Structure formats: C-alpha cells, structure tokens
C-alpha cells in the first residue's frame, strides 16, 4: 500500500510554490518572531514584505503578501493535521523515509472512529414492566356519562423504579 502513495510534492508544490520557497517563507517568519518583531498569530504586512524580498532574491520568484499569508495559513493547517495523526496511538513518524507509519487498525480507527465506541461503566440493568390493571372501562354507547371503575390500579411499576434507583 505504501508504494501507491504519491510523493509529498504532489500535494504541496504546484505552480510557483516549491520546498525552497516554503523554507525561505518560514525561515524569515521564525527569525522575525524570535527577534521579537511581532507576537501573536497574525503576521504583520511589513514582515511579509521582507519575506517577498527574500524569496525574490533567493529564488527569483515573486509573490504578493496575500499569497504568502495564505500559504502560511495552509502550512499551519497541514501542521495541525499532521499533529492530529501523529498523536494517534500506534502511529509514528519515520524521519529517514519522511513518512507517517501506522498499523491498519489505526487507519481504520481514524476512518470509522472505532476507538470512540461507547463503553458502559455501570452494568446494573433496570427492568421496567407493567402489571397495571385497567381502571376505567368506557360505558356502552347507549348512554352518555362518565366511565365506571372496573378494577384496581397496581403501583408495581413506580415502586419497582423507586427500588432500583434507591439502590444505585
């Protein structure tokens, strides 16, 4: 199955995007952040202008600051997706092959949520049954009036519930 997976470049690098462009983009952003030039998660346009100049001088490719910011957001989404996969039990990152390695059970669990099966902790079962007797029976249609009582009510359902809940 592993040999059928396309290389990373298929997903990340199209048109003028390349690994070199991403490297310059991230290097300048990390450098500026480490130098205390900005904080938070929104990159200032001035920093993106520096990235534009660096990419232009190192690769000869031009970008707008909006293109770079959208690329930064895309890489951030990829990071969060990778982190989610990597934190899955049984999954690990092989640095030599640059691949995520996982047993089939982990892939199935991610696809179908097999690890999210609800497990009941309390195994006590409450049995509810009805032993009530009909209290009122309608009169025949000949006369109009209230129904007459024809039996007694059983409170076994409510007493059974009270007993079961009192023991839990």
10 and 77 share a domain?
Answer: yes
Residue 36 CA to its chain's centroid (Å): 33
69 and 134 share a domain?
Answer: no
44 and 6 share a domain?
Answer: yes
Model-wide pTM > 0.75: no
pLDDT of 105:
73
pLDDT of 48:
93
85-92, Cβ contacts within 8 angstroms, sequence gap of 24 or more? 85/110, 89/115
DSSP letter string, 52-115: HHHHHHHH-----HHHHHHHHHHHHHHHHHHHHHHTSTT-EEETTTTEEE--HHHHHHHHH-GG
Number of domains comprising the chain? 3
101 and 82 share a domain?
Answer: no
124 and 145 share a domain?
Answer: yes
Residue-by-residue pLDDT tens, the chain, 168 positions: 456 767 766 777 878 889 899 999 999 999 999 999 988 878 899 999 999 999 999 999 999 999 999 999 988 988 888 888 778 778 888 888 777 787 877 777 666 665 555 555 666 655 565 566 666 666 666 555 554 444 454 444 444 444 444 444
pLDDT of 143:
52
Distance CA 156, CA 142 (A): 35
137 and 147 share a domain?
Answer: yes
19 and 60 share a domain?
Answer: yes
**Alpha-carbon distance values, 9 to 18, 76, 113, 116, 151 (Å):** 8, 17, 29, 33, 81
For 107, the domain range is 90-118
Rounded to 5 degrees, φ, ψ at 90 are: 90, -5
66 and 99 share a domain?
Answer: no
58 and 12 share a domain?
Answer: yes
19 and 54 share a domain?
Answer: yes
73 and 11 share a domain?
Answer: yes
17 and 66 share a domain?
Answer: yes
């Amino acid at each position: 199955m592993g040999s059928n997976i396309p290389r990373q470049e298929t997903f990340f690098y199209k048109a003028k995007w390349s690994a070199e462009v991403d490297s310059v983009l991230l290097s300048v952003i990390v450098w500026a952040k480490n130098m205390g030039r900005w904080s938070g998660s929104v990159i200032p346009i001035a920093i993106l202008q520096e990235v534009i100049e660096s990419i232009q001088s190192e690769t000869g490719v031009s970008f707008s600051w909006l293109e770079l910011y959208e690329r930064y957001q895309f890489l951030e989404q990829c990071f969060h997706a990778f982190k989610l996969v990597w934190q899955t039990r049984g999954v690990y990152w092989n640095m030599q092959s640059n691949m995520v390695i996982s047993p089939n059970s982990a892939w199935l669990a991610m696809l179908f949520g097999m690890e999210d099966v609800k497990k009941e902790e309390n195994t006590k079962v409450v049995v509810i049954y009805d032993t009530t007797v009909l209290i009122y029976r309608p009169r025949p249609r000949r006369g109009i009036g209230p129904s007459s009582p024809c039996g007694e009510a059983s409170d076994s359902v409510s007493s059974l519930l009270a007993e079961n809940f009192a023991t839990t």
